[in-house]
Chains A and B, each alone.
Chain A
Amino acid sequence: DTGVSQNPRHKITKRGQNVTFRCDPISEHNRLYWYRQTLGQGPEFLTYFQNEAQLEKSRLLSDRFSAERPKGSFSTLEIQRTEQGDSAMYLCASSLTQPLAKNIQYFGAGTRLSVL
């Protein structure tokens, strides 16, 4: 088990460009979460998938943000027309829906986005 993998680790982009991040969850984890973290703050929930179904989206997820998990495995988070306020660490987590799994979320190392 290699853990949750996120790519790229760092992304620098110019304002107005589109960016896409990828998350590969732990194998067989059916739940996948995206969070955003700005400097000095704890992570904030963005959205959550169970298998391929997106079950919850935060109000933080504006129309410029879209997330997909097409086959219930990896997920992508796309930000269109990036703004400087989108600069943050984007974290992905996964978990397993089984009682013994204790509903523990396992996090990746994150993708740090800098919008210039």
Chain B
Amino acid sequence: DAKTTQPTSMDCAEGRAANLPCNHSTISGNEYVYWYRQIHSQGPQYIIHGLKNNETNEMASLIITEDRKSSTLILPHATLRDTAVYYCIVRVRGDGGATNKLIFGTGTLLAVQP
């Protein structure tokens, strides 16, 4: 699975959009970009994933550049409860063997300020 690079930490004002970047310059054509987050003392929580097209769900939007070498997770209206470590992970979305594990980096600590 390709490696990802994320900033160590970011701040965001409550009610504003939080834009979390991720670089994955070695991503392969069949690798998806997944985002998880981990609120303090809880297990990681799935947010969103995508391959090429931009994606949106009830939690967030995912913008993937045309060359797929980077992506941005957008939380449109951040709240204090969005304070967490956000992990960007690239992996093959297949059903075979070693591709099933998630390889986490150290993620980005997003601090939402009141």
Contact = CB atoms under 8 A, between A and B. Distances in A.
- Size bin of chain A's contact surface: 20 to 34
Interface of B: 41-46, 49, 85, 87, 93-95, 97-98, 100-107
Contacts of B98: 56
Decide if the interface of chain B is mainly helix, strand, loop or mixed. Answer: loop
Nearest to B49: A102
A79 interface: no
Contacts, number: 58
Given A41-B106, A45-B102, A107 B44 contact: yes
B46 A106 contact: yes
A107 B43 contact: yes
Interface of A: 4, 31, 33, 35, 40-45, 48, 55-56, 58, 91, 93, 95, 97, 102-110
A98 B104 CA distance: 23
A99 to B, nearest CB: 9
15 contacts: A33-B101, A42-B104, A42-B105, A48-B101, A55-B97, A55-B100, A56-B97, A58-B101, A91-B43, A102-B49, A103-B93, A103-B100, A104-B46, A107-B43, A109-B41
